[in-house]
Amino acid sequence: MTIRTIAVTACDQLVDQLGWNDDDLANDEQINRWNRNANFCPAYLNKDNHPYVWYALRASASDRREDVVAQQKEWLTCVSDFDDFTNAPDTYFKAQ
């Protein structure tokens, strides 16, 4: 698993990204279906066919601790859902 957090332009934007280093966890069609159903956490396959999911947000000096905690909870929920998805994509969609 590869985890990256990228801050852009003096932290006015933050991108969390998580990737799985295994092949054949999901195909293009399954990733596209994920993206049609994902509101905040789009996914893609990298050049090695490994699935990645990401989450972007605009950071602000006026963000309160509660705001940051809520954003991180949303990201971690996304990671958990995407992990379930990569374990068995077709089963994941049947359960939705």
Q: What is the pLDDT of residues 74-94, one digit of tens each?
A: 999 999 999 999 999 999 999
Separation CA 10–CA 12 (nearest Å): 6
Q: Which residue has the higher pLDDT, 31 or 10?
A: 31
* Greatest extent of the chain over all pairs of C-alpha atoms, in Å: 42
Question: pTM for the whole thing?
Answer: 0.81
Which one is predicted more confidently, 40 or 12?
A: 40
Cβ neighbours for 95, distance < 8 A, ≥ 6 positions apart: none
Q: Among 3.60.21.10, 3.30.565.10, 3.50.50.60, 3.30.1460.10, what is the CATH number of 2-91?
A: 3.30.1460.10
Amino acid residing at 43:
A
